[in-house]
A and B are shown apart, each in its own frame.
Chain A
Amino acid sequence: MSLATIAIILGGLTVASALMVIITKHPVHSVLYLILTFFMISSNYVLMNAQFLAVVNIIVYAGAIMVLFLFVLMLLNLSKSTEPQSSLLIKVAGVIAGGILLTVVVAALKDGVTIAEVNEVETDGQGLVQNLGKLLFTKYVLPFEMSSVLFIASIVGAVLLGKREKQIID
């Protein structure tokens, strides 16, 4: 099986699992399908020689963020019966709007962008930890440190918002 066939199959599976996220009614099933979508996207990263990002994608998204979503869903005890449903009119309008967006973006980007023909690019090992780590701690060291400030802010925000209101008032 050629690499192109594998890419097309993985792309189709990615789109199918992403569609199931918004089609399925049960919120927990949505989360599980989104985890599947992230695994498919990670496999696309591996195909594109971005091995470090593939691993980080699984650890951060599938491992941390989606578990957080799953915990919140189970904490709030949401199920199919409590799931709010949009009216049919809103659903049809939303699908049409999304389809129009897709048509416009694909039509604009497919042939409108002139992409330089790049041949013989050396991509071996560019997505590995060694290369990305060097880049992250030299050229992009300031944004890297700023992101730690962002994390501190989000931790403080989450703790503050998660407190009971009485405790905040007292």
Chain B
Amino acid sequence: MVLASIFQAGVSIQFYIVLSSILFAIGVTGVLIRRNAIILLMCIELMLNAVNLLMVAFSTYLGKADAQIFVFFIMVVAAAEATVGLSIIVMAYRNIRSTDVGIFNKLKG
């Protein structure tokens, strides 16, 4: 099945630049205003996805598939990061009975 290219249908690349910038800014804002460590990890995933969206947009715009391979690798790294990050959070929860990042400053020596 061949779909018509979105960029030949009148959507400019600037639309996707602005869209992924907004998504990235939402992720940064979430990291700044939330205190639950699990939500912070989710906001990091949101930021990674904003970058993925921009890379796919430029990949399609320039007609090169290489960027889509890099998006694939970003997903791989995100999956590895989520597993290790969540297991660290679970271990910290066992010790201090909370996932509040404000309490995590007890970790400093």
A106 touching B87, Cβ below 8 Å: no
Residue positions of B touching A, CB distance < 8 A: 2-6, 9-11, 13-15, 17-19, 21-30, 32-36, 38-39, 41-43, 45-46, 49, 52-53, 56-57, 59-63, 65-66, 68-69, 71-73, 75-84, 86-91, 93-94, 98-102
Q: Which residue of B lies closest to A45 (CB)?
A: B56
Q: Which residue of B lies closest to A78 (CB)?
A: B99
Which residue, of B13, B19, B65, B93, has the highest number of chain A Cβ atoms within 10 A? B65
The interface residues of chain A lying within 8 Å CB-to-CB of B29 are 22, 94-95, 97-99
Say whether A154 contacts B83, CB under 8 Å: yes
Q: Are A48 and B10 in contact (CB under 8 A)?
A: no
From residue 82 to 122 of chain A, which have CB atoms closer than 8 A to chain B? 82-86, 90-91, 93-95, 97-99, 101-102, 105-106, 109-110, 115-116, 118, 121-122
Closest-CB distance, A153 to chain B (whole angstroms): 8
> Which chain B residue has the least Cβ–Cβ distance from A116?
B62
Kindly state the separation between the CA atoms of A161 and B93 in the bound complex, as whole angstroms. Answer: 12
Choose among B52, B65, B76 the residue that contacts A132 (Cβ–Cβ < 8 A): B65
Closest Cβ of chain B to A81, distance in Å, is 13
The secondary structure that dominates the A interface is helix
Q: Contact: A7 with B11, CB < 8 Å?
A: yes
The answer to whether A123 and B15 have CB atoms under 8 Å apart is no
Known contacts A7-B15, A121-B62, A154-B83; A102 and B33 CB within 8 A of each other? no
Nearest-neighbour CB distance to chain B for A55, whole angstroms, equals: 12
Closest to A94 in B: B32
- Inter-chain CA distance A163–B75, complex, in Å, is 26
Interface size on A, as a range, is 35 or more
Q: A75-B90, A147-B76 are in contact. Are A69 and B41 (CB under 8 A)?
A: yes
Which chain A residues lie closer than 8 Å to B43 at the CB level? Answer: 21-22
Given A44-B19, A161-B90, 16 extra CB contacts under 8 A: A3-B6, A4-B10, A45-B53, A48-B6, A65-B45, A73-B38, A76-B99, A86-B35, A93-B32, A121-B61, A123-B63, A139-B66, A140-B66, A154-B81, A154-B84, A162-B90
- Measured in the bound complex, the distance between the Cα atoms of B94 and A91 in whole Å is 28
Chain B residues within 8 Å of A27, by CB: 36, 38-39
